[in-house]
Structure 1
Amino acid sequence: MDITNSVALVTGANRGLGRVLAQQLLTRGATVYTAARNAAAADLPGAIPLQLDITDPESVRRAAERAGDVTFLINNAGISTGADLLTGDLNQIRLDMETHYFGTLGVTRAFAPVIERNGGGAILNVLSVLSWAHFGGAGSYAAAKAAEWAQTDALRELLAPRGIQVSALHMAYVDTDMAAHIPADQKTAPDVIVKLALDGIEAGSPEILADEITRTVKAGLSATR
């Protein structure tokens, strides 16, 4: 996909990786909708702020109606409740799944027809190395990301005949608020991740592995346990 002159929508674009994605898209010549639950917080100069709560179907419907020129959707919005699978609040565990799996799916279902009507384009789902590495301490988040990865693979097959490329971005720790507790030397700068992601979209890559940790984990998936 050629990002120049595309019309992109980035969910969770008010801060962190989403804001950097929007910035680099603008630099590459795209028109950009910066979507967030609080549209006023998605105040990147040159972008179009858009109210969107991915867990609210009515909000998703309104966003798809307003942003009817989109050709490139980036499903970036996410949370990490930190809930323990055995002892944590089930509502928090459900929130992880509602956000990463059902929220992403709802936005994709709303915007896939939009992208198709506009001649095709691309969808990028922002995933994680925890799509594959399922540690007990991050079980709720990892389960949600694993489900989102499966969703991404299935949608890639379903949407290809409609002229929509579907890609997944996987990474370990990124230097954003979500990883504030992680030592700096274990994190990758968000601008590095975003450049790799957008280059991968332009190259048509189905999966984009953004750091060495992620590449090592993916390579080990077929190893006997």
Structure 2
Amino acid sequence: MQIFKDKVILITGANRGIGQSLVKVLLNNGVGKIYTTCRDLKKMPSFNDDRIVPLELDITDDQQVAWVATVAQDTEILINNAGTVNSGNILEGDLLGMDNDLQVNYFGTIKMMRAFAPILIRNKPSIMINIVSIAAYSPLPSIAGYAASKAALFSATQSVRIELAKKDVSVYAVNPGAIDTDMNKGSDWDMPDPDSTAIQILQGVADGKLDSIPDEMGQGMYNAWREDPAKLSKLFADLYYAENAK
């Protein structure tokens, strides 16, 4: 994946899950520098590599976003990976949890896109990668706020792609299915590991796939949606009522 060789990259939510795996894969592919960010640096792995520059960042905090943008002026590839999920359905779920999903997954990522767009334009040709979710297509009643926030982020990603298209900044949307990370801890689904998923994500970018689904589960969901959105709705309706019958 020569596209990443010697590049300066910033990854949000780099302390665990897909974010941590993306760091490891990039280090093995000749990256020049990686700004690794998370809300609490005590939880950041060392990675044992002098190309790593850890930065504390809560993407919902305007001042921290502005500070990181000032520090990381040489960023050539921005990977918006930070995210959160709260359980709950639309009619009865905790509205504070839904609001938190929107503040992090949607508005927080928009803040990063706004802060780094001028940097990426200046350092062009450059890349922005938004880790969205197959939930952008999928009605998931048990995590309805998360699904809504990811659908909104997917739409915003398509919009900013058009805005930056003539400024030599390529914008990628990645929509993984359920991955075996802390976010999905306790699930009995057969999920791929984050390391293999990270490889597929970066390979998709290297291949120029502006919209990609890096795992078989996600691809299956997307294919069902593409054939007939009602087909995917039924799949999740069956899962939802099965879970609530336990």
Q: Taking structure 1 as the reference length, what is the TM-score of the superposition?
A: 0.94
- Report deviation, 1:81: 1.3
How far apart, in 2, do the equivalents of 1:222 and 1:186 lie?
Answer: 23
CA distance in 2, matches of 1:152, 1:191: 24
1:169-209 superposed Cα distances (whole Å, 9 cap, x missing partner): 112121111111122x6110111111111111111111111
Are the equivalent residues in 2 in contact too, given 1:196–1:208 (CA < 8 A)? no
Structure 2, unmatched stretches of 5+, are 231-246
Contact 2:175 2:214 (8 Å CA) reproduced: yes
Cross-structure match for 2:11: 10
Q: 1:207 aligns with which of 174, 194, 211?
A: 211
Compute the displacement of 1:162 (Å).
1.1
Q: 2:150 aligns with which of 141, 145, 149?
A: 145
* Cα deviation, residue 218, structure 1: 1.8
Larger mean Cα displacement after TM superposition, 171-180 or 66-75: 171-180
Once residues 89 and 24 of structure 2 are traced to their aligned partners in structure 1, the CA distance between those partners, rounded to angstroms, is: 35
The amino acid of 2:132's aligned partner reads L
Q: State the partner residue of 1:171.
A: 176
Q: Partner of 1:45 in structure 2? A: 48
Residues 53-132 of structure 1: pairs in structure 2 closer than 5 A: 53-132=58-137
Alpha-carbon separation, structure 2, partners of 1:223 and 1:208: 17
The count of residues paired between Structure 1 and Structure 2 equals: 224
- For the residue of structure 2 that corresponds to 1:12, the secondary structure is coil
Poorly superposed stretches of 4+, deviation over 6 Å = none
Measure, in 2, the Cα distance between the counterparts of 1:193 and 1:222. Answer: 22
Q: Which stretch of structure 1 is more off in the superposition, 40-49 or 153-162? A: 40-49
| Aligned residue identity for 2:205 | I
Match of 2:20 in 1: 19
Q: Distance in 2 between the 1:119 and 1:152 partners?
A: 18
Q: What letter matches 2:20 in structure 1?
A: R
In terms of mean alpha carbon deviation, does 167-176 or 65-74 score higher? 167-176
Cα pair 1:40 1:49 within 8 Å, conserved: no
Percentage identity across aligned positions?
Answer: 33
Residue 216 of structure 1 deviates from its aligned partner by 2.3
Q: Is the 8 A contact 2:59 2:108 kept in 1?
A: yes
In structure 2, C-alpha distance between the alignment counterparts of 1:163 and 1:121, rounded to whole Å:
7
Separation in 1, partners of 2:225, 2:118:
34
Aligned-residue offset at 1:120:
2.6
* SS of equivalent to 2:143: helix
Aligned position for 2:235:
none
Instruction: Tell me how far apart the structure 2 counterparts of residues 55 and 125 of structure 1 sit (CA, whole Å).
Output: 16
Deviation at 1:64, TM superposition (A): 0.4
Counterpart residue type for residue 36 of structure 1 = C
How far 1:38 moved relative to its partner?
1.5
Partner of 1:98, secondary structure, is helix
Moved more, 207-216 or 27-36: 207-216
Structure with higher Rg: it is 2
